[in-house]
Copies of this chain bind each other. A is one copy, B any other.
Amino acid sequence: MQDELLLYPHPSVTIDCVVFGYDGEQLSILLLNRRDEPFANQWTLPGGFLRLEETFEEAAQRILKDKTGIENLFLEQLYTFGGLSRDPRGRVLSVAYYALVNPAKYQLMVGQMANELRWFHWKLLPPLGFDHEHIAQVAQARLAAKIQYQPIGFELLNAQFTMSELQALHECILGESLDRRNFHKRMMASGLLRSTGERREGLKSRPAELFEFIP
C-alpha cells in the first residue's frame, strides 16, 4: 500500500510560526536566534519539522511550546511556502501559521536549539534566515487585510478588554488613529463582541466597560 508513496523522494515539511505580540503599546514579532546550522546565530521565525503523527496545528503548538514556552494559542494557517532553494539542506516546505498573543501572559523560555528569543517591533525586523522575511511580510499583509473586515483580538488582549484597548491595537496595525465614537459603533455593529457588564476599576479615571468576544 505504501509503494506508490515511496516511488519518489519526499520533501521535508516544517511548520513556521509568525507570533504577533501586543503589549498595549506596540506590535511585535517573536524571533529566535538559532544555535545551529543552517543560519546559526541568525534570527528566524520559530519553526520545526512536522512529525507524521501530528496535525499542522499540533505540530505548531508543540514547536512553540518547546522553543519558546508559549502554549495554547490560537493559530491560523497563513500560506505554504515551497521555493526550491528556501532551505540549504534540501527541499523543505514550510506550512506557515500565525498567531496573536499577549506577551504579558507568557513566560518566554529559550529552548535548547536557540541562543535567544526576542520580540522585535513588527516593522523593524533584523535580517532573517531562510525565506522568513518573506513569510513575515505575508503575515503582516494578511493581518492588515483581515482587520479591515473584522475586529481582531484573539489572544492579544485579555479575555475581557476595554474598547480603548481594542482600539489601540487596531490603530497599531492600521498605522493610523481612529475616531473613538465611530470605532465603538463599528465594533458593536459587527456583532462579534459584547459587553460583559463589568468594569475595569482602580485606574486614575472613570472605570471602563469591559467587553469580550462572542464565541
Q: Chain A residues in contact with chain B, CB under 8 A? A: 1-2, 4-5, 7-13, 49-56, 77, 79-80, 82-84, 88-93, 95
Contacts and interface: CB of A to CB of B under 8 A. Distances in A.
A13 B93 contact: yes
A34 to B, nearest CB: 12
Contact of A52 (B5, B11, B55): B11
19 contacts: A1-B88, A1-B89, A2-B90, A4-B89, A5-B89, A5-B92, A8-B49, A8-B51, A8-B52, A10-B10, A10-B11, A11-B13, A13-B13, A13-B93, A50-B82, A55-B84, A80-B80, A80-B95, A93-B95
A82 B53 contact: no
Number of copies of this protein chain within its complex: 2
Contact of A80 (B2, B77, B84, B91): B77
A56 B82 contact: yes
B52 A9 contact: yes
Q: Which of A55, A89, A93, A95 has the most CB of B within 10 A?
A: A93
B11 A50 contact: yes
B8 A10 contact: no
A195 B142 CA distance: 32
A8 B59 CA distance: 14
